[in-house]
Structure 1
Amino acid sequence: MSQLRCVLLVDDDPTTNYLNRKLLVKMGIADGVLTALNGQEALAAVNTHCYEDSPTCPDLIFLDVNMPLMNGFEFLAAYRQLPPAQQCATVMVMLTTSLHPRDVQRAHHLPVSSFLTKPLTAEKVTAILQAHFAAAADTLPG
């Protein structure tokens, strides 16, 4: 089966992480789903799970913009400083409640594949998979 190895959900709202995790598990798109409540936790997860040929390194990261301790933009800046072997995530998606033009413009200068508004839906996940992971999208039901 052509699933993603892992997806990392980064949002300071535990309920949002819970619902998004439930959606991704129901869709069966990844072997694993990790969650983090802020950029610091997300960076720690990458440091723990991302090394050469790691089966638990996320292929896809859904990243909130506004979070305490380390926001989405700060996470992306720190992520870019990691050794290349740890930068396993091939697709970064900013998932936010606002599409403020300043944030969208700022994201264009970072390794962000998409900028989506919440909530995460099956349609949005499918669109991301079709755009960036054709093999995984082909395994989704109907």
Structure 2
Amino acid sequence: MNKLPTVLLVDDDQTTNYLNHLLLTRLGVADHILVAHDGREALDLLATRCAPSAAQCPCLLLLDVNMPGMNGIQFLEAYRQLPLPTEPAPVIMMLTTSLHPRDVQRVQQLGTVAGFVSKPLTAAKVHAILAEHF
């Protein structure tokens, strides 16, 4: 499999970001791994990285559901409003420790998420995401 150009990790937990970054680096899945600590920071990164002149839009987003400030669902609501290139659309995977049925229903209504992955992220889960979506 070819390396992905850019992956964006969105999680408020620094340890989780560190471990996920380390895992993706060891697996060699991406040329660039970006990290955002909440939904607002992720939106700002996307607005900068996905601008036509930048052309470094992440092709995979690993998004935590529960974060202070702007959580994953609020991020998705705002993300849908961004004037980003639609092709190729980034694959967005929700990372979570537990799934509340209300959250799953809301995410499905938004229709922008490729799936859910339970934490912790593992090599097997990363390979499954890559095999299915890339």
Give TM-score, length-normalised by structure 1: 0.87
**Are the aligned partners of 1:32 and 1:56 in contact in 2 as well (CA < 8 Å)?**
no
**Are the aligned partners of 1:92 and 1:114 in contact in 2 as well (CA < 8 Å)?**
yes
Unpaired segments ≥5 residues, structure 2 = none
Which residue of 1 is the match for residue 72 of structure 2? Answer: 72
Task: List 4+ stretches of structure 1 deviating above 6 A.
Answer: none
**Are the aligned partners of 2:62 and 2:94 in contact in 1 as well (CA < 8 Å)?**
yes
Which moved further from structure 2: 78-87 or 16-25?
78-87
Which residue of 2 is the match for residue 139 of structure 1? Answer: none
Which residue of 2 is the match for residue 9 of structure 1? Answer: 9
Q: List aligned pairs for 1:1-142, cutoff 5 A.
A: 2-52=2-52, 54-85=54-85, 89-110=89-110, 111-133=112-134
**Aligned residues: percent identity?**
59
Determine the C-alpha separation between the residues in 1 that align with 2:72 and 2:36: 11
- Deviation of 1:3 (Å): 1.4
Determine the C-alpha separation between the residues in 2 that align with 1:87 and 1:101: 30
Q: CA RMSD in A?
A: 1.8
Work out the number of aligned pairs and report it: 133
Determine the C-alpha separation between the residues in 2 that align with 1:77 and 1:38: 14
Determine the C-alpha separation between the residues in 2 that align with 1:93 and 1:53: 26
Determine the C-alpha separation between the residues in 1 that align with 2:68 and 2:57: 24
- Deviation of 1:56 (Å): 2.6
**Are the aligned partners of 1:58 and 1:89 in contact in 2 as well (CA < 8 Å)?**
no
Structure 1: which amino acid aligns with 2:42?
A: A
**Are the aligned partners of 2:50 and 2:84 in contact in 1 as well (CA < 8 Å)?**
no
Unpaired segments ≥5 residues, structure 1 = 134-142
CA displacement 1:22-59 (0-9 Å, x = unmatched): 00011111100000110001001101111237453110
Structure 2: which amino acid aligns with 1:57?
A: C
CA displacement 1:4-31 (0-9 Å, x = unmatched): 1100000000000000000001111110
Determine the C-alpha separation between the residues in 2 that align with 1:53 and 1:5: 16
Q: 1:87 to 1:15 in 2, by over 3 A?
A: farther
**Are the aligned partners of 1:61 and 1:89 in contact in 2 as well (CA < 8 Å)?**
no
Structure 1: which amino acid aligns with 2:113?
A: V
- Deviation of 1:84 (Å): 3.5
